[in-house]
Amino acid sequence: MVHKHSGPETWFLLAGEQCVELPDRAVRGRAGQTPTSAPAETPIALHVVGPGRRDALFLVVHDSSKPWNTFVDWQPKGLCEITNSQGTIAR
C-alpha cells in the first residue's frame, strides 16, 4: 500500500526484514538494526523481504488535525527489488 503520514514515521524491526521505498531511496532493514524513519508527507511503499515472519514497531508523530495515514497515487520505481542467490527477484 502506497501511503504517507502527516508526521514523521520511525520503525524498528523486531523480526524479519523489510524494504521501504521512498521517492529518493530505498531503506532496507533487519531485526535489531538502528531504527530508521521517513519525513512527514513523504510517499512510502513497504515491502516485506524474504520468506520469514516480519514483526515491527512503527511510530507516527502526526498532526492531530490531519489524518494520520493517507493513501496516495504515487508509483514506486522498484528500488526495493533485489536479486537473491538463486537469481530470482525478491521484495
| C-beta separation of 82 from 18 below 8 A | no
Domain count, the chain: 1
User: What residues pair up with 11 in beta bridges, in sequence order?
Assistant: 36, 58
| C-beta separation of 18 from 56 below 8 A | yes
Residue 29 maps to which CATH number? 2.60.120
pTM surpassing 0.75? yes
Each residue's pLDDT tens digit, 32-87: 999 999 999 999 999 988 888 999 999 999 888 999 899 999 999 999 986 444 43
- Distance, CA of 44 to CA of 4 (rounded, Å): 6
Each residue's pLDDT tens digit, 2-40: 999 999 999 999 999 999 999 999 999 999 999 999 999
Domain that holds residue 29: 2-90
